[in-house]
A and B are shown apart, each in its own frame.
Chain A
Amino acid sequence: TQLLEQSPQFLSIQEGENLTVYCNSSSVFSSLQWYRQEPGEGPVLLVTVVTGGEVKKLKRLTFQFGDARKDSSLHITAAQPGDTGLYLCAGVPSGTYKYIFGTGTRLKVLA
């Protein structure tokens, strides 16, 4: 059973467009991380969200943690080709000690 569902699975957009990626679960998380992974490399941490309702900004990327700490979103403004990659949310569901990853969103930004 996949505890972290991401949507969309795949997104292909033009440079300059905006997009939002969603990460949803029925479990509560004490924190959630977002990573970006490029082909042939390991995931690189983008941000950690901890508090329900928290919003964090990283340049053109805005991350939000749901009030109930069961979901999160990543919004990218004016996407650039350098944003291309696999975006993964991850965390430890309440009641477990397993650090799991979401199903992933593969983003392709066309110049």
Chain B
Amino acid sequence: DTEVTQTPKHLVMGMTNKKSLKCEQHMGHRAMYWYKQKAKKPPELMFVYSYEKLSINESVPSRFSPECPNSSLLNLHLHALQPEDSALYLCASSQGSRAPGELFFGEGSRLTVL
């Protein structure tokens, strides 16, 4: 069982909807990540939070808005998405972000934008 929990597992939304993806970890990790993965491709980094502060934003469109309410939680707020944003969204955590070593991933949230 993964120690990083993501909800929902599946999400279908229209282009005008507002929804959120949630991620939770209780391993005491201080870095949390959002990755986007298209079919048959490797994960692509979107955001990194280190000690609850946004440390890396990989030029992600503003229709994706991350939030880190505390060290255990990470949200990704979605608004006015496009069909090409359909993908598997993966959350991960690590002990640190500078030399993270091992990342622990959730099972992902499969997003479909209609």
Instruction: Point out residues on A near B: beta carbons under 8 Å.
Output: 30-31, 33, 35, 40-45, 48, 86, 88, 90, 92, 97-104, 106
Residues A100 and B101 in contact in the complex (CB < 8 Å), given A40-B88, A42-B2, A106-B40: no
Which residues B58-105 have CB closer than 8 A to chain A? 58, 88, 90, 92, 94, 97-105
Partner of A40, one of B104, B106, B108: B108
A5 to B110, CA, bound (A): 26
A37 to B18, CA, bound (A): 29
Contact yes or no, A43 B105, CB < 8 A:
yes
* Chain B hits for A100, CB < 8 A: 45
A34 to B91, CA, bound (A): 17
A33 to B42, CA, bound (A): 14
Residues A97 and B98 in contact in the complex (CB < 8 Å), given A104-B41, A106-B40: yes
Partner of A101, one of B4, B43, B56, B100: B43
Residues A48 and B102 in contact in the complex (CB < 8 Å), given A40-B88, A41-B108, A42-B107: yes
* Chain A hits for B99, CB < 8 A: 30-31, 92
For this complex, 27 residue pairs linking A to B, each with C-beta atoms less than 8 Å apart, are: A31-B101, A33-B102, A40-B107, A40-B108, A42-B4, A42-B6, A42-B90, A42-B105, A42-B106, A43-B90, A43-B103, A45-B102, A45-B104, A86-B42, A88-B43, A90-B103, A97-B56, A97-B97, A97-B98, A98-B48, A99-B45, A99-B94, A99-B103, A101-B42, A101-B44, A104-B40, A104-B42
A81 to B100, CA, bound (A): 31
Closest to B110 in A: A40
Residues A99 and B33 in contact in the complex (CB < 8 Å), given A42-B92, A88-B42, A92-B100: yes
A42 to B33, CA, bound (A): 13
**Extra pairs beyond A103-B42, A104-B40 (14, CB < 8 Å):** A33-B101, A33-B102, A40-B88, A42-B90, A42-B108, A43-B90, A45-B102, A98-B45, A98-B56, A99-B100, A99-B103, A101-B42, A104-B41, A104-B42
